[in-house]
Amino acid sequence: QVQLVESGGGLVQPGGSLRLSCAASGSFFSINAMGWYRQVPGKQRELVAGITSGGNTNYADSVKGRFTITRDNAKNTVYLLMNSLKPEDTAVYYCSGTLQRRSDSRWSSYWGQGTQVTVSS
């Protein structure tokens, strides 16, 4: 079974920083693209940042210059460093990844359970 487990959320003041982590575990051969999404009540989940297996990145316009996505392939982990946080960044943040399962060699997308980020004074 494959799992993505996020950590690092919490409460931070405006202008502060947080780093989210997402580790993949279980039985898989490899990981392709990974990304971070966020969702607030009543709105659709939106892409925050993505990173390919080769390290190419893309960001939502709202976070460009403030957020940085990186990955450590040796640790099967993706990170999201969030700087200059704003109240509008408050959301549940979800990790997603496309992994190749060992059980049948198929590629599938997986989601983490989500971690709450609250930006408030």
- What string of pLDDT tens digits covers the 121 residues of the chain? 899 999 999 999 999 999 999 999 999 999 999 999 999 999 999 999 999 999 999 999 999 999 999 999 999 999 999 999 999 999 999 999 999 999 899 999 999 999 999 999 9
Nearest to 68 by CA among 96, 48, 98: 48
Compute the distance between CA of residue 25 and CA of residue 17 in angstroms, rounded to an integer: 26
Calculate the alpha carbon distances from 82 to 12, 21, 31, 36 in Å: 11, 11, 23, 11
